[in-house]
Amino acid sequence: MTQNLPNTAPTSNNSTRKVTLLGLGAMGSAFARAWLAAGYEVTVWNRTPPRATALGEEGAKVAASVADAVAAGPLIVTVLLDDASVTSVLDGVDLTGKDLVDLTTGTPESARARARWAAERGARFADGGIMAVPPMVGIPEAGGYVFYSGSQELFDEHHATLAVPLGTRFVGTDAGFASLHDIALLSGMYGMFAGITHAFALIRGEQDIKPSEFAPLLAGWLGAMSGMVHDTAARLESGDYATGVASNLAMQTAGVPTFVATAEQYGVSTELLSPLFALMERQVAAGGGAMDTAALVDPLRT
């Protein structure tokens, strides 16, 4: 069950208005500044110490070592480059009784392994997937949030603190779910990027079509089409791919040569669209011509 909670001002008492942050890259620094602005006691550590200097001047306590940073409070947040850097930073550090929140991007399996790793060291664990870029941190109107999964108790206890930099969405006690949600949303985004890239490559061949005039048309169309995700979800849950289909796969696949020919006429590679077209053709060949595009989901699973 997804729990949607706004990033409102914290209501925790003074004993919990404390956070340790390991990793002061673009994202970690933004988190640190959001907590400082909200009046938190923030202890920071970074592998390359000069990166912590500015935050120290802004009020953060700069720890001399990871062990000192971890000892400073109950809540430890890591915002490091990758899972390997989390291991190298925390290996050998006493985490007994600590609450570890790892916002470093990783796979569902690496999050589950990290949860087991934390439990072996006597720590509670939650993983996080950040759905924002650094300029959105600390600005509720920007709409950024973090998917959390793992220890529900940790999340509930520290929610006020976690909700300061960005909104929060707890998506389950399986530690891998935050990462899975994160990667799934970003995968949808990359598919959209592929379509956007192809569309602009096509109009690039015409000097009389300005990208800035085409852009609102493309944005409007993508927005209008995005509603299909709900129909796809309903069909995946019901298993009904054939009832009330407005644009079936046979019709859409019949249009593929038109897309390929237009791309050829404008000297545009079809490499970004070809994999989807191939999947559509496979599903039609398998007898799915009358079906909705939702019927492509399961055949994609290997």
Contacting positions for ligand NDP (CB under 6 A)? 23-28, 46-48, 51, 79-81, 85, 88-89, 104-105, 130, 133-134
Shortest Cβ contact with ligand NDP: which residue?
25
Q: Which is nearer to ligand NDP, 57 or 208 (CB)?
A: 57
Which is it for the CA torsion 160, 161, 165, 170, positive or negative? negative
Give the nearest distance from C-beta 52 to ligand NDP in angstroms: 9
The beta-carbon contacts of 276-284 under 8 Å, at least 24 apart in sequence, are: 277/253, 280/249, 280/252, 280/253, 280/256, 281/253, 281/256, 283/249, 284/249, 284/250, 284/253
- Residue 16 per-residue DSSP state: G
Cα 79 to Cα 100, 164, 177, 242: the distances in Å are: 11, 15, 18, 45
C-alpha dist (Å) from residue 210 to 78, 217, 264:
44, 12, 21
Element (H, E) at 156: helix 152-157
Quick one: 50 or 239, whose CB is closer to ligand NDP? 50
Supply the minimum distance, in Å, between the C-beta of residue 6 and ligand NDP. 20
Nearer to ligand NDP, 82 or 298 (CB): 82
Min dist. Cβ of residue 72 to ligand NDP (A): 18
Nearer to ligand NDP, 27 or 268 (CB): 27
Rounded to a whole number of angstroms, the minimum distance from the CB of residue 76 to ligand NDP is: 14
Nearer to ligand NDP, 88 or 269 (CB): 88
At its nearest, how many Å lie between ligand NDP and the CB of residue 125?
16
